Amino acid sequence: MKATWKAKLAAASVAAVFGSAAHAQQEIKVGVIYPLTGSLAASGAEMRSALELAADIVNNGAKGIPDLPFSTGGGLPNLKGAKIKLIFADHQGNPQVGATEAERLITQEKVAVLVGSYNSNVTATASQVAERYKVPFVNPESSSQSLTLRGFKYFFRTTPHDEFFVHNAFEFLKEVEAKKHIKIASVATFSENTLFGNEASKLQTRFAQSNGYNVVKQVTYPAKTTQLTSEVQTLKAANPTVLIQNSYSEAILSMKTYKELGYLPDMILANDAGFADTEFVKTLGKDAEYVVSREVWALDLAQKKPLIKQVNDLFNARYKINFTGNSARSFTGLMVTADAINRAGSTDAEAIRKALAETNIPASKLIMPWKGVKFDESGQNTLGAGILVQIVDGKYNTVWPADLATRELVWPMPKWDQRR
């Protein structure tokens, strides 16, 4: 492998010297670190598919989708048609493994850029390694705010972070109150105890209080727990109007426990993650109905944005699944990365970093409901925005913001014994 890589490089440079670069084909290695095994493997597999599709579009094009960058195919034009080659690494949801894999990809595979890693805590350690080696790290999905507060020079995050989402969520609650003529008496948070859950619940509590809501309870539970009985009992006793929930794979277990113990608030306002997985609706079926989740993406956005439908059709034709908020962001993250490498016109880390910092992609070229991609000093995309969706008839329907909404919110969510 290594020999051919070197040979190709040599061929490319020779070709460049003699000015006949036309058929020199370079490969640009992009390291991607995701949870491919372990309890998050289901999400990991979807994101992997999305990344593969993005790389394939850059390398081989996508017919009939002129709005999508690189849809003409043939690799990166500014690098003489160089192809993107994804080198996958599995972090198993483990921050130590993430850091080791980042180091391996940089030192042994010599990747030009790293993309990853879904879990905020893994992104934290893996990007630290990248920063040390001065290799750009593009993060498409992690929403923990602290990641862009570290003053890193090589870290770029395309997704909005938790503060955007929490801000959106409370705008939404205010609108619900006005529209439905109700008063939300109290809220409670329910979170898993890793970085994601802890930070999100802290933010939610702060925003809730500053918006004048009474936070009656903050419940956390250990990730990978076998049962949530005492947690749900505690919530039942506190009886909040709106339950704000931050869960990964325990999202399913929590819904089953609610049903078992006959508990439901007027609204479950979930913070994406486990509630956004294809598995959630597939596994729970009818019992998943009426959950509201903040999202970054929903399939019904296609009604307002044809590009989303076109790319999703392509994805579905190949992998037999639709995009989710996770995989759509992974896809977008890699497209942004490809755009930067192309503008950099080289695989030099510094040039790519500079190109990333100068990124300016308009909303029309994205499959996201964002106003675009443009990074600030800290590496945060400032043009991102979230949406809120509600599961009705087994589908995620956009209910906020009003201009993208495809369905009216069902409030309150029907209690278990009123369902049929």
For residues 21 and 38, give the distance between their C-alpha atoms in angstroms, rounded to a whole number. Answer: 44
Tokens representing residue 182 in the block: 């109700």
Closer Cβ to another protein, 105 or 219, answer by number = 219
CB of 35 to another protein, least distance (A): 9
Instruction: CB nearer to another protein: give 256 or 395.
Output: 256
Confirm if 33 and 85 have CB atoms less than 8 A apart: no
With respect to another protein, which residue has the nearer C-beta, 39 or 100?
Answer: 39
Q: How far is the CB of 201 from another protein (least distance, A)?
A: 11
Q: To the nearest whole angstrom, how small is the minimum distance from the Cβ of residue 408 to another protein?
A: 28
To another protein, the closest distance from the beta carbon of 294 in angstroms equals: 21
Distance (Å, whole) CA 97 – CA 353:
25
What is d(CA 220, CA 379) in angstroms, rounded to the nearest whole number? Answer: 30
Q: How far is the CB of 231 from another protein (least distance, A)?
A: 4
Q: Closest CB to another protein among 40 and 361?
A: 40
Q: Torsion-angle region of residue 376: left (phi > 0), alpha (psi -120 to 50) or beta?
A: beta
Closest distance between another protein and the C-beta of residue 200, in Å?
15
Binding site residues, another protein, CB under 8 A:
37-39, 41-42, 44-45, 193, 219-222, 224-227, 229-231, 233-234, 236-237, 249, 252-253, 256, 259-262, 279, 283-285
CB of 385 to another protein, least distance (A): 30
- Between the CA atoms of 391, 394, 396 and 400, what dihedral angle is there, to the nearest 10 degrees? -40
By beta-carbon proximity to another protein, the closer residue of 198 and 406 is 198
Q: Which is nearer to another protein, 85 or 256 (CB)?
A: 256
Owner of token pair 């969706």: 389
Give the side-chain half-sphere CA count within 13 A for 152.
30
DSSP letters along 361-419, please?
Answer: EEGGG-SSSSSEE-B-TTSBBTT---EEEEEETTEEEEEESTTT--SPPP-SPPPGGG-
Tell me 302's DSSP state.
G
Residue whose CB is less far from another protein, 272 or 339: 272
